[in-house]
Amino acid sequence: MQWKELERTARQIRLRDLEAVYAAGAGHIGGEMSAIDILTALYFHVLKIYPDDAKHPDRDRFVLSKGHTACALYVTLAKRGFFPEDEISTFLQPHSRLNGHPNCNKVPGVETNTGPLGHGLPVAIGIATAGKLSSAAYHTYVMTGDGEMQEGSNWEAIMAASQFQLNNLTLIIDHNRFQQGAALADTNNVAPLRPKLEAFGWEVTEINGNDMAEIVPALQHRGARPHCIVAHTNKGHGISFMQDRVDWHHKVPNKEQYELAVAELSEAL
């Protein structure tokens, strides 16, 4: 898939995500918009996956550690054929399997249950270690938020990945510079991330995480060490009035805002 086509798919996913959050009256739209370009590149170009056989042992793994942006993952998985796209309309409805955080036993394509922060990277390290033990060819990807890197469990895991020489592991940090309550810089500023990861023995690539031309080659990179992509992104990317605004972490647009956002995303289509 060419970059332009991927960009078009990402915009369609953004639009569907916006609709789902608006309809449900809840969601984490800001962090979803920052992550969608990377999700699109993974599921429509990079990952070796089997939508009809979601647990295929040879599949590449993707763990969404920032589980509160589940809606973006659901839309991506559905669009990629893991389950019917119509089901997105059940997001957060009673008894829907699409709850606010992904469940691996209910939703095809979800690898592990996430929601509490700082869980995905340790699990991804276990998946990558299992791959090494069985000489499997699959690659493991995990995406965290930048605020999420304040969790100590991530740094336990970062040490282990280096010690275990996991060159079959890619960590993507969605560096949108905002967490729930404030800017990262005003909370517990873990940035700059590159020197910290490098000090722990990782190879680090910094990219514009909303630019396919930079995202895809970074995701496809293979080296001798565990690889971290520091993806500089914009919270609320693609919707003018949401961009880089902390209050859009989990705010829901009103009717006027929704229509404006739909118009902006549709224009780009």
Q: Classify the C-alpha dihedral 72-59-80-170 as positive or negative.
A: positive
**Closer to other proteins by Cβ: residue 133 or 269:** 133
Q: Say whether residue 136 binds other proteins (CB under 8 A).
A: yes
Return the number of the residue (41 or 157) whose C-beta is nearest other proteins.
Answer: 157
163 near other proteins, rule: CB under 8 A: yes
Q: Is 114 in the site for other proteins (CB under 8 A)?
A: yes
CB of 74 to other proteins, least distance (A): 17
State the minimum distance, in angstroms, from the CB of residue 34 to other proteins: 23
Indicate the SS3 state at residue 89: helix
Structural tokens at position 41: 């590149």
112 counts as binding other proteins under rule CB under 8 A: yes
| 227 near other proteins (CB under 8 A) | no
Residue choice 46, 124, 149, 212 for contact with other proteins (CB under 8 A): 124
Instruction: Kindly give, in sequence order, each residue whose CB lies less than 8 Å from that of residue 204, ignoring residues fewer than 6 positions away.
Output: 193, 194, 197, 198, 227, 228, 229, 230
Stretch that binds other proteins, among 120-128, 180-188, 190-198, 243-251 (CB under 8 A): 120-128
Residue choice 25, 84, 94, 152 for contact with other proteins (CB under 8 A): 152
Choice between 126 and 201, CB closer to other proteins? 126
Those residues whose C-beta lies under 8 Å from the C-beta of residue 148, and which sit 6 or more positions away, are 65, 66, 117, 118, 154
* Number of residues in contact with other proteins under rule CB under 8 A: 35
131 near other proteins (CB under 8 A): yes
The radius of gyration computed from the CA coordinates of the chain, to the nearest angstrom, equals 17
Distance of CA 198 to the CA centre of its chain: 22
DSSP string, 101-155: S--TTTSTT--S---STT-HHHHHHHHHHHHHHTT----EEEEEETGGGGSHHHH
By the criterion CB under 8 A, which residues form the site for other proteins? 57, 61, 103-105, 111-116, 118-119, 121-131, 133-134, 136, 152-153, 156-157, 159-160, 163-164
